[in-house]
Every structure is written in C-alpha cells, then in structure tokens.
Amino acid sequence: MNRQECQRLVDAYVEWLRHGLRAESIGEACELTTPFLDRHNDHIQVYAERRNGTIVLSDDGYMLADLAAGGLALETPKRKTALQSVLNGFGVREREGRLEVEATPANLGQRLHSLMQATLAVGDLHVMAQAHTATFFFEDVRAFLDQHEIRYNERVKLAGRSGFDHTVDFLIPKSHTRPERILEAVATPRRANIEGYLFALNDTREARSDPAKPAAEAYAFLNDQEQPIAPEVSEALRAYQVTPIPWAHRDQFTQALAG
C-alpha cells in the first residue's frame, strides 16, 4: 500500500471514532458514549468531571461491577495485584471501584484513550474468569497450609484402579496419628465440577486400599467467597466420604490437617 492509501486508513478510523462518540451533560458531569463495545455488546460509557482544577475521567465503577457479576470479583490481594498489573500498563488507577485517570485540556484525548484501553483490557478478564478463579483459589489454599505449617505435596499423580493416573491438588502424607489425606481446591463448587474429583478419588482409593492400613481421608476446600455453597454439593461430597470445608470455616479444620 502506498502512503496515500495508508493515510486513508487513518482517516477512516478517525472518522468512525468521531461519528461513534456521543456526549451528554448530566449534572456536573459529562457522559461520553463510545463506539467500543463491552462483552454484552453495549457501548462503553465514560464520565468526565472537574475536580480540584483537573478533569477526572472514569467508568463510574461499571467494569469491575460487571466482572463481579460474571463471577470474577477482584477483592482478594492476589486478584487486586492482577488488576493493578493491567492498569499500570495504561497509567490508570482504581479508586473506590472506579477506573480513573486525571487529565488536563492539553492531554485530554490521550488520557481518554488510555482509559478506554484499560477498560477494554480489564473487561477481557471475564474470558479467563474461571481459570483465574481456579488459580487464585489454589494459591489461597496453599498459603493457608503454609501458614499453619501443614506438610503437603502438591499436584501429585496417583494411579487408579482403572489404569488412569489422577492428579490431586494436595496430598498430606500419613503421620503416626493420622492416615494419608487428600485435599482438593474447588474454586467453583458446583455439582458438575466435583464429579471428576469424586471419580478420581474413588478410583485411587480402590487402587491404594490396604486392609492393614487406615483408609486415606479426603477433604475438599470449597470457595464460598463468590457465592454460598449449594447444599447438593456438600451432600454429594459426604456421600463419597469427603469432608467439605467451606473457605470461610477453614480454620476449624487446621488440627485435622496438621496432625
């Protein structure tokens, strides 16, 4: 493409952006509707208001609230760190749930563009919501075990009677007083999400059973930070001799795991 054709691409983009922007005065603020779409195919809106001699641009808390509604509440330290790493790349801050930047008349366009980029990048986290939640919760469980000096091996492969190998999140070796303990970190405690764990547990129990030794105990840490644990989840676990541990009640099981 020659230089003139390249310039036409720039002009077309600017023209699309110009026609896609709409501004409306709302009280002391300006509501700007952009041509950029969120995951619901709604136009992203930002708000501008004067504060202490500067222009403050924000999303008014929409994006983080939408992520929380989609199952990715960024409230724990690890989640906040992940959010901050995204915002730092665009020079945007999080303040009381809002994504914000400060601007002057001289750099208003640039700062608005930075806020839009950050808003879109944060919004994209919903695609990885389940994977992020699983990773964060696994790390939370590991930190809990370390905090209470509970010895364990992580990501251990156990052979099952079926011939398949199964990976368990944490394995606490037997002690003089307690048998082996198998721990699973269930980030999204739904019936469908624990069926694979229950199969693996039953399969490995059959392969590792020894009448001369106590049977391994099984526990499942259940993430109740996002929503309450459904009764059918706990019932299904207990039916397979698995002790459910809601994350809010984890301290009640320290002695059982540390022995």
Alpha helices in the chain (DSSP H): 3-20, 62-69, 77-88, 108-123, 129-147, 191-208, 231-239, 254-258
Query: In terms of pLDDT, which residue wins out, 52 or 211?
Result: 52
Tell me, what's the pLDDT at 128?
60
b/e 162-195 (16+ beta carbons within 10 angstroms → b): eeeebebbbbbeeeeebebbbbbbbbbbeeeebe
SS3 content of the chain, % helix, strand, coil (to 5): 45, 25, 30
What number is the average pLDDT over the span 101-119? 91
pLDDT digits (tens, 9 = 90+) for 121-167: 888 777 665 566 777 788 889 999 999 999 999 998 888 877 778 88
CA distances from 31 to 17, 94, 99, 226 (A): 16, 19, 15, 31
Domain annotation covers residue 141: no
| Eight-class DSSP state of 81 | H
Is residue 56 located within the same domain as residue 153?
A: no
Structural domain containing residue 192? 148-258
Tell me, what's the pLDDT at 3?
79
Token pair recorded at residue 197: 């764990």
Tell me the residue type at 137. F
Number of domain units in the chain: 2
Is residue 120 located within the same domain as residue 207?
A: no
pLDDT digits (tens, 9 = 90+) for 198-211: 888 888 877 776 66
Tell me, what's the pLDDT at 242?
94
Which residues are 93's β-sheet partners? 100
Query: Percent of the chain, pLDDT > 90?
Result: 41
Domain annotation covers residue 137: no
What number is the average pLDDT over the span 219-238? 90
Is residue 31 located within the same domain as residue 66?
A: yes
Domain annotation covers residue 132: no
Confidence of residue 33 (pLDDT cuts 50, 70, 90): very high
Is residue 94 located within the same domain as residue 152?
A: no
pLDDT digits (tens, 9 = 90+) for 74-98: 776 777 888 888 899 899 999 999 9
Is residue 17 located within the same domain as residue 119?
A: yes
Query: Percent of the chain, pLDDT > 70?
Result: 94
Tell me, what's the pLDDT at 91?
92
Q: Which residue's entry shows tokens 């708000």?
A: 47
How confident is the prediction for the chain on average, in pLDDT? 86
At 173, which CATH number? 3.40.1350.10
Query: In terms of pLDDT, which residue wins out, 199 or 251?
Result: 251
Q: What is the pTM of this model?
A: 0.58
Q: How far apart are CA 20 and CA 36, in angstroms?
A: 8
Is residue 170 located within the same domain as residue 113?
A: no
Q: Which of 96, 126, 156 is the last residue of a domain?
A: 126
Tell me, what's the pLDDT at 39?
84
Q: Which residue's entry shows tokens 């190998």?
A: 165
